[in-house]
Amino acid sequence: MKRIFSRFIYFFIILVVCNCLVFAPNTYASIENQKLLLESWDLLNTSYLDDTFNNQNWYLVKQDLMKYSLNTREETYKVIDEMLITLDEPFTRLLRPEQYHNLKIETSGEFSGIGLRLQINPQTEKLEVVSPIKNSPAEFAGIKEHDLILEIDGISTTNLNLDQAAEKMRGLTGTRINLTIFSSQNKKVYQNQIIRKHISLSPLISNIDKTSSDSFVGYIRLNKFSSNAVEEMKTTIKTLEEEGAKSYILDLRDNPGGLFESGINIARLWMNKGTIVYTINRQGIQNSFSSSGKPLTNSPLVLLVNKGTASSSEILAGALQDSRRAILFGETTFGKGLIQSLFELSNNCGLAVTVAKYETPNHKDIHKLGIQPDKIILQETLAYDEIGTIKDIQYQEAIKFLREK
């Protein structure tokens, strides 16, 4: 009887050990996925602006989440997405590793690639070159404005969106990329092999309008509030001052924002002494950011804005409008009065969490309302190369106003 019992124990142990060997990897993955889920929940618990979490018991949400069996990362991401949906607030969002990586590149203003500005042409829906970046591998390879990128490393661009195409363009410095290009000049398809290099991407474009001999207007288009935007703006203003600019147009149309700090520091380059923005956190504590009163120029300034002007762009626009430093032309802005902090999670993904709201210097809450321009000027959608031309009604009205002023 003892022998039978011993054999039973022996086979039971073997069975347990075998099961552990078979299921241990899945168990480990499930534990890691649970950790990622709880990490996300905890960040929201401690940092999210609305401490009612859209009027729900956040701890009960946690209990419900723990019931999920999370065998893969994608399953975990979907559960985190479901958790965020309950907040009913689109700016708090999970960034999967690729999205998080792309966002860090955008805000840093530096990347490794070939240096092309691209767009999906609204008429043809083709991937089109807006322009090669100056002194980039793409420029040296002879790629021109309006060329079409048909294939990237043998993959058709027909079904790629702009982010997917940009991601395929980027890569390690020194690696090669093969492009199939339709030339806009000679109307022929050709192959081009280019070596990627490190590129510093300027977030702004500038020029000076000298069509009136006694009233030069400096034009600055700011596309993104990246980490290098402040220094680029400083350099540009000083250059335009040296070239004789008597007034300025700062174009914030379709600028989706970026780094909060960049918005504050760029406001300081233009503003005299005064408040730039007020922020309010989940405890209701109000903080403020101000200008010291040492702008780089006091010349007249017009801001161009539209419904794509959002976030840090609205902080800048609100500060310059309320302080009467600038006149706003264009259309009502997007209306994003919330501030996000970006947290890095395990597995190289990120969580953007709304941690505060803001008000303009005159204590206007612009969330979902936007900023009303001083002069409303409607404008049909322009192609990239039509901005700042005779077809750009908002730009032309700004030029006219500044010259009369």
> What angle in degrees, to the nearest 10, is found between the helix axes of 260-270 and 229-242?
20
Tens digit of each residue's pLDDT, the chain (405 residues): 445 444 444 443 433 334 433 344 466 678 889 999 999 999 999 999 999 999 999 999 999 988 888 889 999 999 999 999 999 999 999 999 988 887 887 787 777 889 888 888 878 889 999 888 878 899 899 999 889 999 999 999 999 888 788 889 888 889 999 999 999 989 999 999 999 998 877 789 999 988 777 789 999 999 999 999 999 999 999 999 999 999 999 999 999 999 999 999 999 999 999 999 999 999 988 899 999 988 999 999 999 999 999 999 999 999 999 999 999 999 999 999 999 999 999 888 999 999 999 999 999 999 999 999 999 999 988 877 789 999 999 999 999 999 987
Predicted local confidence at residue 28, as pLDDT: 63
17: alpha, beta or left, given left = phi > 0 and alpha = psi -120 to 50?
A: alpha
Given the residues 30, 254, 336, 357, select the one marked as catalytic.
336
Q: How far is CA 172 from CA 56, 103, 131, 176, 324, in A?
A: 46, 17, 22, 9, 47
Q: Is 365 a catalytic residue?
A: no
> 2-87 belongs to which CATH class?
alpha beta
Residues of the chain with CATH 3.90.226.10: 204-404
Judged by DSSP in three states, 217 sits in strand
Helical pair 73-85 and 58-65, crossing angle rounded to 10 deg: 160
Give span(s): CATH 2.30.42.10, the chain.
110-199
Kind and range of the H or E run holding 6: helix 2-47
336: annotated active-site residue: yes
Chain region(s) in the chain for CATH 3.30.750.44: 2-87
* Catalytic residue chosen out of the listed positions 226, 247, 262, 311: 311
Catalytic pick among 209, 251, 254, 322: 322
Predicted pLDDT of residue 9:
44
Predicted local confidence at residue 132, as pLDDT: 86
State yes or no: is 2 an active-site residue: no
The CATH number corresponding to 204-404 among 3.90.226.10, 3.90.400.10, 3.40.1620.10, 1.20.1250.20 equals: 3.90.226.10
Looking at the structure, give the CATH architecture of the domain made up of residues 110-199.
Answer: Roll (2.30)
Distance between CA atoms of residues 227 and 232, nearest Å = 10
Please check whether residue 262 is in contact with residue 233, taking contact to mean a CB–CB distance below 8 angstroms.
no
